[in-house]
Amino acid sequence: MTPRAAFDLVVRNADIATAADRFHADIGIVDGRIVALGQGLAAGATEIDAAGRLVTPGGVDGHCHLDQPTGDDTVMADDFASGTVSAACGGTTTVIPFACQQKGQSLRAAVDDYHRRAAGKAVIDYAFHLIVTDPTPEVIQDELPGLIAEGYTSFKIYMTYDALKLNDRQIIDVLATARKHGALTMIHAENIDCIAWLTEALLAQGITAPIGHALSRPMLVEREATHRAISLAELVDTPILVVHVSGAEAIDQIRWAQGKGLAVYAETCPHYLLLTEDMLEDGPRGYQCICSPPPRDEANRQAVWDGLRNGTFQVVSSDHAPFTYAGPGGKLSAGEHPPFDRVPNGTPGLETRLPLLMSEGVLTGRIDIHTFVALSATNAAKLYGLYPQKGSIAIGGDADLVIWDTTTAFTLHNTALHHNVDYTPYEGWAMQAWPAMTLSRGVVVWDGAQASRAHGRGCFLAALAPAAAQPRPPLAARVGAHKVLSNFAFPAAYRP
């Protein structure tokens, strides 16, 4: 009888980079988990030779939209099948899309509906954020606490869009619930009234082309809302994560808050690192690049890179919002040349997120490899309660790995991507990094040529309470606020 191999799989000779360390080792995997890291490990039933290759943790995309009901006649082109295949081909092994409450709907119904949409489709693992659009007393008192306890420990709220936005009082109520139950709130920070006023004025002047989208949402609109979100979070004394931050003035607000010691986290996306508003031309690319906040100018683009380097940002997510350009329910669903305010907001980017950040960030020397891993995987796993199962290469963690090819130069074309969107904003981009292989729990889901079609193998992940959202001792300067909130489940040791 042949003796049983010590490991199901050994990835040999890996040049491993985590958020903290760099070392050469073999990775021993049993039942989808890493059980050994060392040199000269015993044989595996299967072996992959990673000699000469950089190996990083599989990406955790903490902000992407898949099969999310939009509430109007637009429709997302990617569901959990195409979206997770696309993610895997680009090195992402965990996605966290959004179960979005429609106004008038119970949050629980939104979650149940979203589980039905995911069932049997995902090829990689997934958790859900909630989107809270209707914080009724039932939602605040019953549904949110129950759902948080079940593993939906982060939620997004909006300060814009009529169908989604909360007013300041509603934001405070949601933040207070997050504080009480140890959840993390993500905030889309743009001032809806400023946008509405500017949109009306632009349309009245006949400005309908895509650039009108950027003109209707200048940096000030984001800066004001970012500051207000920070102030409301400070009032309630709870952490927030400001999503898709696009430029300097919002970054300044976040750095100011972080400098005061407030728990304010920030996310940006490849499109704010790589695209600028001059791409909002009057043609297909202009419509394709309409997203919110809009791409900004060159100085802001540089400021976002600076924010990655100086630690302002913890997370780079795709904000994959998959609307086709020409297909049904896509960018042109309101006509051949729709006014900018009738174009669904968002760009695709699940598959290109890691390769772009590796190519444009690490290979150019703008960020080091550890910052890359932190921004693309580890920090999102920590902030959203999935660490240490996800987000690192460590004993006991899931064997979610990317084996990189960082030496082959190529030109990106949408035809090579696996999403259901008919364009990429990075068409024709010169790149030099792509996963040679992606493993999800020790299973090859992308081998450099073929994607796994094992739909349904991806598992739902009930998230833990994020460490960042656990009660902290009060800042010395803010004991007063803690007195007001002292009944909010503070541990006795810290009660003022």
Binding site for Zn ion (CB under 5 A): 188, 319
DSSP 415: G
Checking DSSP bridges between strand 401-405 and strand 54-57, what pairing results, if any?
antiparallel
Chain residues 346-385 in contact with ligand DUC, contact rule CB under 6 A: 346
**Contact status: 188 vs ligand DUC (CB under 6 A):** yes
Q: Are 128 and 121 in contact (CB under 8 A)?
A: no
Checking DSSP bridges between strand 434-440 and strand 401-405, what pairing results, if any?
antiparallel
Q: Are 461 and 94 in contact (CB under 8 A)?
A: yes
If we measure between CA atoms, which residue out of 277, 301, 421, 430 comes closest to residue 351?
421
Helix (H, G, I), strand (E, B) or coil at 333: coil
Chain residues 230-249 in contact with ligand DUC, contact rule CB under 6 A: 243-244
Smallest distance, ligand DUC to C-beta of residue 5, A: 45
CA distance 437 to 435: 5
Q: Which is nearer to ligand DUC, 80 or 434 (CB)?
A: 80
Q: Which is nearer to ligand DUC, 16 or 184 (CB)?
A: 184
Q: Which is nearer to ligand DUC, 80 or 446 (CB)?
A: 80
Using Cβ positions, the residue closest to ligand DUC within the complex turns out to be 292
Smallest distance, Zn ion to C-beta of residue 471, A: 28
Smallest distance, Zn ion to C-beta of residue 219, A: 16
User: 206: Cβ–Cβ under 8 A, 6 or more apart, which residues?
Assistant: none
Give the binding-site size for ligand DUC (rule: CB under 6 A): 9
Q: Which is nearer to ligand DUC, 59 or 349 (CB)?
A: 349
CA distance 351 to 273: 16
From 292, 300, 352, 438, residue interacting with ligand DUC (rule: CB under 6 A): 292
Smallest distance, ligand DUC to C-beta of residue 388, A: 27
Work out whether the CA dihedral 253, 255, 259, 261 comes out positive or negative: positive
Q: Which is nearer to ligand DUC, 64 or 386 (CB)?
A: 64
Q: Are 441 and 417 in contact (CB under 8 A)?
A: no
Q: Which is nearer to ligand DUC, 253 or 345 (CB)?
A: 345
Helix, strand, coil shares of the chain as percentages rounded to 5?
Answer: 35, 20, 45
* Helix intervals (H) in 359-405: 369-373, 379-383
Using Cβ positions, the residue closest to Zn ion within the complex turns out to be 188
From 321, 375, 399, 463, residue interacting with ligand DUC (rule: CB under 6 A): 321
Q: Are 436 and 448 in contact (CB under 8 A)?
A: yes
Smallest distance, Zn ion to C-beta of residue 468, A: 20
Q: Which is nearer to Zn ion, 313 or 490 (CB)?
A: 313
Smallest distance, ligand DUC to C-beta of residue 19, A: 25
Q: Which is nearer to ligand DUC, 291 or 373 (CB)?
A: 291
Please name the residue that has the structure tokens 């005061």. 260
Taking CB within 5 to 8 Å according to partner kind, which of Zn ion, ligand DUC, none is near residue 357?
Answer: none
Chain residues 75-114 in contact with ligand DUC, contact rule CB under 6 A: none
Q: Are 291 and 347 in contact (CB under 8 A)?
A: yes
Summarize as ranges the residues that interact with ligand DUC (CB under 6 A). 188, 243-244, 291-292, 319, 321, 345-346
